[in-house]
Amino acid sequence: MSYLDYIKEKQFPLFTCAGCTHGTVTNTFLRVADELKLDKENTVIVCAIGCAGRIPTFLDFNVLRVTHGRALAFATGVKLSRPDVKVIVFMGDGDAVAIGGNHFIHAARRNIDITAIISHNEIYGMTGGQYAPTTLQGFKATTAPYGMIEPAFDVCELAKGAGSTYVARSDVYHINHLHKVMKNALTHKGFSTLEVITSCPTQFGRRNKMADPIKLVERIRDITVTQTAAEKMSVEELKDKIVIGEFVKTERPELTEIYEEKLGKLRKN
């Protein structure tokens, strides 16, 4: 079996714009899935609306596509009803921490065994180029034509604060690192958050005079810094940088195990 066995060939070509790096996230997932030998029959992938949300439609798994912002709510239902299956959720940054923010916080708080892969491209790509919760100050969007004035969310800090037991960030330039942390996220028991810095040359790039897909990826290379390097940098040096790495890797009771234990006691009574 190879990673190609996890693809629905009839769904190709990809829906994405030229230069979109959601394809890089898809490719990495396919290779990790093959390495882990994920069982297609016992894996459920949930997604919603948006560019990143469409990634699973090309994957030969049990795929549940739902309304915008509700992927984690549906995924929670799947996991509670079938705790034996592997549940993975693909989301964009707007999908995960804007309209879906409340579901994200509580899924992390509950520590339900779901892997959330969040593609962060700083904009709503599919629905018209509106600013997202991750759009950095000063950058333009259709709803911020003079530049974003709000501070951006730090997705990983939000996940840490909410109680996610695995929190990591990577990007589409450092592919080996992305492969490593994606594998770790998928094998972790509990709620796993993986934020992936991606690029959108069409909606974000054009509005911010960075339409060249290669230059956008080079920008990601230039603004990202590893945890090890960050530890040696001053606050001023880190001001415009995004740190990649594994920030949380811990264990605590997982929701479905607690739930099944309680049900077992009730049945005995």
Question: 48-58 pLDDT, tens per residue?
Answer: 888 888 888 88
User: What is the tens place of the pLDDT at every residue in 198-249?
Assistant: 999 999 999 999 999 999 999 999 999 999 999 999 999 999 899 999 999 9
Candidates 214, 195, 29; CA nearest to 121 is 195
Task: Give the predicted TM-score (pTM) of the model.
Answer: 0.94
Listed as ranges, residues in the chain with pLDDT below 70 are 1, 269
Task: Output the six-digit token pair for 117.
Answer: 């892969």
**Residue 59, amino acid:** L
Candidates 210, 188, 196, 211; CA nearest to 27 is 196
pLDDT at 266: 74
Candidates 42, 46, 43; CA nearest to 72 is 46
**Hey, where are the domains in the chain?**
17-268
Straight-line distance from the first to the last Cα atom of the chain, in angstroms, rounded to the nearest whole number: 47
Angle between the N-to-C axes of helices 255-268 and 71-81, in degrees from 0 to 180, rounded to the nearest 10 = 40
Enter the DSSP assignment of 228.
H
pLDDT at 146: 96
CA–centroid distance for 116 within its chain: 5
pLDDT at 1: 65
Going by their DSSP bridges, the two strands 114-120 and 166-171 should be labelled as unpaired
The distance between the two most distant Cα atoms of the chain, rounded to a whole number of Å, is 66
Does CATH number 3.40.50.970 belong to domain 17-268?
yes
